[in-house]
Amino acid sequence: MGFKIQEAMTPTGAKIKVVGVGGAGGNMVNHMINFGINGVEMVVANTDTKALHSNQATTKIQIGEKTTRGLGAGMVPDVGKQSAVESFDELKSSLMDSDIVFIAAGLGGGTGTGAAPIVAQAAKEVGALTVSVVTKPFKFEGKKRAYLADIGLEELKKESDSIIVIYNEKLLSIVEKNLGLKDSFRLVDDILARAVAGMCTVILQGGNNDISVDFADVRTVMSHRGLALMGVGESSGNNAAYEASKSAIESPLLDNLSINGALGVLVHFQIHPSYPLHEISEAMSMIEESADPNANVIFGTTTDENLDEHKVKVTIVATGFEKELSKKEHEISSSNLKLV
């Protein structure tokens, strides 16, 4: 089951598609749609027909109709994988002619964990730059879910050009302690959406006050195979761009890793049209000094007239952390319950 609209193309000529896989991925797509980003085609793929019907995406694909009969994967990744394999041709067809495909999923459940690597495989087969953006579970969700997430991440690595990992547990250190369960998961969806939205808006050519980059530059940064991390920051007042950038590169979401270990860095500034360019320049100088001298560093800006003229929001994506993260992932995996 699926339907499509005309493929979205950016003014730079790059065709961008975002695929939300499973429940968390679908929620992220809804958040991105609410952001109002143009020039990006939104796709959702799920085994759960109820979740599909309530999603706002323009392209909806029920995967595994025979495998699950529309009832979901029941936290069994093998069912999610089998469902995606069953619907592989439809998935691949929906991604044809894409230049870049972002795959969003929450790891640890059934559909996102099992199906996302198959969706990534389809994206690679059509020749698209394939960037996966995934979350790993909160600690309170249990060791089994953490274990399944680790296995799913290893499978996704094999099929993705780059993987941005957001550790839900790290979010707890940047939010109010009395934040409720529902709001905590909503925050996860929002951060996931912000990661993808930031990368999309860097590629998208904006108005007269925006600074965009070539898709070829983005491909260079995001083609550093392996794991990537994202940092976010915002600030108001004097030197807001500098302070927001400093917060982003020191963000808990970067998992205590310096961007000096990254091979590529993509920076997105969201600013008011009247925000002084020299402050952006000073912020970028600081970021470049923090990064490896040989790293590819690119940036873009998006102007928002509704934003306070003294406020700046920054998203930083750092890629090519393979050595540092492989060691850290091994340490994390070793602490999880081994299931048989």
Q: What is the pLDDT of residue 94?
A: 97
Same domain as 237, residue 170: no
| Domain total of the chain | 2
Instruction: Look up the CATH number of the domain holding residue 270.
Output: 3.30.1330.20
Instruction: Look up the CATH number of the domain holding residue 139.
Output: 3.40.50.1440
Helices (H) and strands (E) in the chain, counts: 13, 10
Same domain as 186, residue 40: yes
Q: What is the pLDDT of residue 261?
A: 78
Q: What is the pLDDT of residue 322?
A: 61
Same domain as 320, residue 280: yes
Distances (CA, A) of 330 to 147, 149, 324: 12, 13, 10
Q: What is the pLDDT of residue 208?
A: 55
Same domain as 297, residue 191: no
Same domain as 234, residue 186: no
Query: What type of residue is 159?
Result: E
Cβ of 49: how many Cβ atoms within 10 Å? 17
Query: What type of residue is 66?
Result: K
Q: What is the pLDDT of residue 337?
A: 38
Same domain as 96, residue 166: yes
Q: What is the pLDDT of residue 339?
A: 34
Q: What is the pLDDT of residue 137?
A: 93
Same domain as 163, residue 69: yes
In a domain, 9, yes or no: no
In a domain, 220, yes or no: no
User: What stretches of 59-105 show up as alpha helix (H) in DSSP?
Assistant: 65-68, 77-86, 88-94
Which run of H or E residues covers position 315?
Answer: strand 311-319
In a domain, 167, yes or no: yes
- Listed as ranges, residues in the chain with pLDDT below 50 are 1-11, 331-340
Q: What is the pLDDT of residue 109?
A: 94
Q: Three-class SS of residue 110?
A: coil
The three-point CA angle 147-150-152 to 5° equals 110
What range defines the domain where residue 270 resides? 229-325
Side-by-side strand order, sheet with 59-62 = 59-62, 40-46, 16-21, 100-106, 129-136, 162-167, 227-236, 311-319, 264-271, 296-303
Q: What is the pLDDT of residue 78?
A: 97
Same domain as 80, residue 133: yes
